[in-house]
Chains A and B, each alone.
Chain A
Amino acid sequence: MKEFRADLHIHTVLSPCGDLEMSPVNIIEQAKECKLDIIGIADHNSTKQCNVIHTLGKQHGITVLFGAEVTTKEEVHCLTFFENIEYANLFQQFLDDHLPFVKNNPELFGYQVVVDKDELIVEQEERLLITALNVSIEKIEQKVHELNGIFIPAHIDKKVNGLLGQLGVIPKGLKADAYEITGRTNPEQLYERYFNQDKPIFIQNSDAHIPELIGSKFNRLLLKEPSFTEIKLALANKDGRKVLG
């Protein structure tokens, strides 16, 4: 077993709020600089920028998880990750089916572009990606798990778009693999107030929208190798795999 560094919440140029500098090349370069072994790509309601970064990451020895930061009907942000492009594409189909069509106005919200490894624009996403899917948090969690994915409510202690800010409670029966916290709240307080003294896994990520913030927060994971399956085991605290903090 070995320790790996993972920042699982990184936006790209595809997110309207993502800086245009958040290109595949820049993200991988910055991840290398910060000595990250694993990064999670999590654009708002889209997985379309993942594949290019995954391929580039492979060439540079960085494991890139296919993911998205989904906005549920309740406007709760949740991180979702998938094992490979096939599952990610199935989830993309689900996103396409459930994202209401609101046309993006780049002047108001920012540009939403998919770029290739040379930073050339290959697609401009017309639909506003920061609106909410018309699907509840429970249904989205179920869909992610049907696709063998990882489901992590994002920045739960954030007032806007965090699970606790939006809903005030952890919904009964929600099967989260972990919870992301901002680091601004004491975990002990959260356990006591919202988890009935259960101690689920908390992780912290950068939520980077600009290159300089990549790796500003990360998790140390004890794994056999930096793979999706191993990360899943660590989040479940199984077979000696662990989130070290």
Chain B
Amino acid sequence: MKVSNIIKELNLSVYGGDNGLDNEVDGGYVSDLLSDVMGNAEESQIWITLQTHRNVMAIASLKDLAAVILVNDLKPDEDMLEQANEEGIPVLGTGMTTFDVGGKLYNLLKG
């Protein structure tokens, strides 16, 4: 499934990284510890987190993640957005909690 389909299905906002809206997604990873994502996330996953700083995008890029979803209505820092646009990795947002958006994403991809 493409990032753009997931945005539609889960009603997510798009903050930046629009170049990557066609990225293919085949799973998700939920974590707020960057070192954990660095060690355990896999290519083409969507990363659900509450971290909003620039290093999130550096790690998303290093791991070839498909997109990042910020929960609880959190907004990306300016430098996070800059890097998202540079890397072409969408930064998405939702008012849902991690639990809710993670559950919905799971149903969508693996349900």
Which 10 A-B pairs rank lowest in CB-CB distance, beginning with the nearest?
Answer: A132-B35, A108-B58, A131-B35, A160-B53, A102-B38, A75-B33, A109-B58, A108-B61, A131-B38, A105-B62
Residues of A with C-beta under 8 A to B39: 100, 102
Q: How far is the CA of A132 from the CA of B31 in the complex (A)?
A: 14
Dominant secondary structure of chain A at its interface with chain B: loop
Is B34 in the interface zone, CB < 8 Å from A? yes
Is B55 in the interface zone, CB < 8 Å from A? yes
In-complex Cβ contact of B35 among A75, A108, A160 (8 A): A75
Q: Are B33 and A132 in contact (CB under 8 A)?
A: yes
Q: How far is the CA of A142 from the CA of B51 in the complex (A)?
A: 29
Residues of A with C-beta under 8 A to B62: 102, 105, 108
Q: Distance (Å) between the CB of B31 and the closest chain A CB?
A: 11
Q: How far is the CA of A108 from the CA of B39 in the complex (A)?
A: 17
Q: How far is the CA of A108 from the CA of B57 in the complex (A)?
A: 9
Is A130 in the interface zone, CB < 8 Å from B? yes
- Of listed B35, B39, B53, B62, residue having the most chain A CB within 10 A: B35
Residues of B with C-beta under 8 A to A75: 33-35
Residues of A with C-beta under 8 A to B58: 108-109
20 A-B pairs besides A105-B62, A109-B55, A131-B38 with CB distance below 8 A are A73-B35, A74-B33, A75-B33, A75-B34, A75-B35, A100-B39, A102-B38, A102-B39, A102-B62, A108-B58, A108-B61, A108-B62, A109-B58, A128-B38, A130-B55, A131-B35, A132-B33, A132-B34, A160-B51, A160-B53
Chain B, residues 48-86, CB within 8 Å of chain A (1/0): the string is 000101010010011000000000000000000000000
Q: How far is the CA of A128 from the CA of B55 in the complex (A)?
A: 12
Interface residue range, chain B: 10 to 19
Please, could you name 6 A-B residue pairs with CB atoms under 8 Å apart, sorted by A? A73-B35, A75-B33, A102-B62, A105-B62, A130-B55, A131-B35
Chain A, residues 86-106, CB within 8 Å of chain B (1/0): the string is 000000000000001010010
Q: How far is the CA of A102 from the CA of B34 in the complex (A)?
A: 12
Q: How far is the CA of A164 from the CA of B38 in the complex (A)?
A: 23
Q: How far is the CA of A109 from the CA of B34 in the complex (A)?
A: 13
Q: How far is the CA of A233 from the CA of B108 in the complex (A)?
A: 60
Residues of B with C-beta under 8 A to A108: 58, 61-62
Q: Are A100 and B35 in contact (CB under 8 A)?
A: yes
Chain B residue nearest to A16 (CB atoms) is B58
Chain A residue nearest to B35 (CB atoms) is A132
Q: How far is the CA of A109 from the CA of B51 in the complex (A)?
A: 17
Residues of A with C-beta under 8 A to B35: 71, 73, 75, 100, 131-132
Chain A residue nearest to B60 (CB atoms) is A108
Q: Distance (Å) between the CB of B64 and the closest chain A CB?
A: 12
Q: How far is the CA of A74 from the CA of B58 in the complex (A)?
A: 19
Chain B residue nearest to A103 (CB atoms) is B62
Residues of B with C-beta under 8 A to A131: 34-35, 38
Q: How far is the CA of A221 from the CA of B53 in the complex (A)?
A: 34
Residues of A with C-beta under 8 A to B38: 102, 128, 131
